[in-house]
Chains A and B, each alone.
Chain A
Amino acid sequence: MMKLKLATTAAAVLISASVASAEKVKFEYWYGLTGDLGGVVAETCARFNASQDKYEAVCVGQDGYEKAVQNAIAAFRAGKHPTLLQSFDAGTADLMLSGEFYPVHQMMADHGISIDWANYFPGIANYYSSSKGEFVSMPFNSSTPVYYFNTELLAKAGVTEAPLTWEGMETAFKALKDAGVDCPYAYEPSSWVDLEQFSMAHGVPVASNNNGYDGLDTELLFNTTLHAKHMDNIQRWLAEGLAQLRTQASGKTARDSFVEGECAIFFSSIADHNTIHKLKPAFAWDVQMIPTYEGVERHNTVVGGASLWVLSGKTDAEYQAAAAYLAFLATPESEEFWVSNTGYIPVTKSGYQALLDKGFYAADPYKNRDIALKSLTFTEPGPLTRGIRLGGFIQIRAEWKAEVEAALAGQKTMKEALDTAVSRGNEQLARFAQTYEGKSFP
């Protein structure tokens, strides 16, 4: 009898517990960031869940950007997809044309949440907006490339100011070499830095149709622009010993070569600022905007990283919950939490201003991290510096990398390599246009 009573009480407790949790509207959020950064994402969810009792964000790490999108596609086809997805730049074109998303601009308006969209930095906003200028996805983890330099080695070589031109860079490389630095520039081929952001900063096109924004019948142009000359220079610097190839496959990455004090300069995302700080190099270091060539007017760079997409086919209650989470992320407190725990930069002007007022960027460990914002906001984005919207982007990047590596290994000339990358990339683009025939970017 006693046992029965216990069992009924237990059942009653269980039922009331499930009723209590059923009152909370749950939604799923899949993210691609891993390691420390993934941990910080999970923390934002915990903070959101603790901040109110109406909604519950169920956040699931998917072990990498690519896997997050791959898994979401597979789940979507089975009708088991999350409400919110963190998707990286290369996933954008397919997502946009699929139409299987709920534009955040629309969703926030539908759920009565007002967001000051003009508050977002234009270099970030344009990347994630439709042709009408409305946000399609929510900016989240944002970065842009910079270069990191070893202040002590540069001082030893008599270079007192970090150059802002490639000509100045070459002089610095030579001075470093003369001062006995074997590896002035740790080079690692990166389409994002050497091609995409380089073209943005110089205001030269990567592809026709304003880098793919204006249509699907796009062709790549980078073998005809300043990019080709730049790649020739990199090849020459490698040959002259002013730069050294440092990749995972060659035994040591560019970042490790820099952190260990072997190489004086390397290029990477501002997100590495945090990582390098944690690795505690035994020397003073700083960052600078990526250089441009003399005689070319400097333009803004664009945002890298990922944004948050709301997928279609979910209930209104779930959208309501997701909208609340996005609104939570957009608060200055959340932004400060995110920025101070990762290497990423603020995405809103007011968020940045709040940090500036606190003296956030004046002292270690965040000192000069806002160089990235300077680069991102250097000019107002124009038709060629809004961003890049290409189908088959991952393969185009892979083609570029494989061809450039072949040229650097002496298998072909740099010109042949870039021409091949362009013609193979164009096949990808044509294929993409054929797949989505009759559709256009929103």
Chain B
Amino acid sequence: MRRAHFKFSWIAAALLAPQLLIVFVFFYWPSAQALYWAFTLEQPWGGGNTWVGFDNFRKVLSDPYYWSSVRVSVIYALATTVLAIGMALTLAIFVDRQLAGYRAYRVAVIWPYAVAAPAVGLAFQFVFNPGAGIFSYINAVAPGWWDLSQNPWQAIAAIVVAGAWKQVAYSFVFFLAALQSIPRSLTEAAAMDGARPLRRMIDLQLPLLTPTFFFLLVINITDSFTDSFGIVDTLTGGGPFRATDLLVYKIYADGFRGFDYSGAAAQSIILMLLVMALTFVQFRYIERRVHYT
């Protein structure tokens, strides 16, 4: 393996400084603050705090509802990731085949990524509304079957679909770029050998896409743990009866709405560790199966 060596340079340091400063101010500083609060009971209006050691963590981890929150967050993360990557790949393959109108599709599919999560939530609120939305047609056939306020699994399905819809665009861009970087000669050679599109996809394109797959897996899982707030807030508000109370949403509800800064800080630290652990696992066990060309 080749290694690059750089000499220390003041110019390089000066050029890096603004970026490092931003990372420090917006990431390390707040994280350090959260870490400190997690071990204290912080009064919201300032005015002091008390050191309580691991009490906040003990309280959070001994709460059965917290564990159901972890469970539903993991389900949400896995389901949105699978759904988003699956749909993005399908769309990317179609666009890559340059079927009629693919240029328009390419632009259209990228758009949803620019839509803010709360807006996505609002749009899907209409789609999933049991009384007036598109899903109300189901209730016209089977009255009362579709009801987000009563059925936890339907509520989870709703946020998963909305979350995945938002993620598709991002994954799509990467898949399309990766597909287009596969040398034409390979595809053409396979075609001459008689491989039909499906066979070419399974034997040729997918194996060559594994690095992109891996990258998107890590990004999507991390994103669905940390960026689901807007969708939950507008679509379900964490309900019915906590069924969609994802970890990030719970942090917001306890910290900002309930003024329990310390409890929320402890939860943030746990969430951070969880995401780090998941990323570690992915790098440790899944990356082995990735072949970089």
Report A's interface with B, CB cutoff 8 A: 66, 70, 73, 76-77, 91, 94-95, 97-100, 245, 247, 249-252, 392, 394-395, 398, 402-403, 405-406, 409, 411, 427-428, 431, 434-437
Contacts and interface: CB of A to CB of B under 8 A. Distances in A.
Given A77-B46, A405-B240, A409-B241, A392 B149 contact: no
B292 interface: no
Contact of A94 (B44, B136, B155): B44
- Majority SS at the chain A contact face: helix
Contact of A249 (B47, B148, B256): B148
Nearest to A77: B46
B149 A76 contact: no
Interface string B240-282: 1110000000000110111110110000000000000000000
Given A251-B129, A251-B132, A403-B241, A394 B45 contact: no
Given A251-B136, A394-B258, A406 B241 contact: yes
A434 B41 contact: yes
B242 A402 contact: yes
Interface size class of B (residues with CB under 8 A): 35 or more
8 A-B pairs closest in CB distance? A251-B131, A98-B45, A249-B149, A406-B241, A250-B149, A251-B130, A395-B258, A435-B41
B259 A94 contact: yes
A398 B253 CA distance: 9
Contact of A100 (B45, B59, B132): B45
- Majority SS at the chain B contact face: loop
B50 interface: yes
Contacts of A252: 131-132
A391 B104 CA distance: 55
A403 B242 CA distance: 9
A402 B46 contact: no
Contacts of B52: 434
B242 to A, nearest CB: 5
B266 to A, nearest CB: 12
A436 B131 CA distance: 46
B236 interface: yes
Contact of A250 (B148, B237, B254, B258): B148
A335 to B, nearest CB: 30
A392 B258 contact: yes
Contacts of A91: 259
